[in-house]
Amino acid sequence: MATFVLESIIQFIKKPQDIFFNKILDFLSKNQIKGKLSENLLSIMIKNNIKASLVTFNTLLDLYITQNNYTMANHLFKSLNQKREPCPDNFTFSIMINGVKNMPNASIETAKEYYSQFVTQFGMDVIILNSFLEVCVTLGDFEQLDSTMLEFYS
């Protein structure tokens, strides 16, 4: 039913822009609505030449993390990194770093990979640092927390 409504909206003379779809994805994420609707939204966007922005991809990443679908989140993250258009930003990396906290086999090493990758590509960023430090605290890795703090403040 929802897909039918969305496809009907596309038939309007003035097509909705990506922000319309971003809001729907955000709604799905905040209300923890599971299912294939997010994939249907992207399919409708592609079919109608509505270019997905980085906000669209970040919202979708957040949705996957919220739904504990780390396989899809990692797939999307890797494809963003390979395409570089749109280029992932600190918010993209922050979503992935913070998502580690809720993974079934949460590992500080996974969070550290995202953290290091961002710092290597873009340089130090306070948002990324704080996200990584939060994961260190959540996972109880105070040794990593101390070494990161020393590295940052030296």
- Rounded-to-integer distance, Cα 118 and Cα 86, Å: 15
Considering only residues 26 and 5, tell me which one the structure prediction assigns the higher pLDDT: 26
The model carries a pTM of: 0.81
pLDDT for residue 42 is more than 70 = yes
Domain boundaries, the chain: 1-88, 100-154
On the question of pLDDT at 35 being above 60, the answer is yes
The band of 1, judged by pLDDT with boundaries at 50, 70 and 90, is very low
**pLDDT tens by residue, 73-113:** 999 999 888 876 788 999 999 999 999 998 988 999 999 99
> What gap in Å lies between CA 144 and CA 154, rounded to an integer?
15
Q: Could you tell me what percent of the chain has a pLDDT over 90?
A: 45
Q: Give CA separation, 135 vs 64, 138, 153, in Å.
A: 18, 5, 19
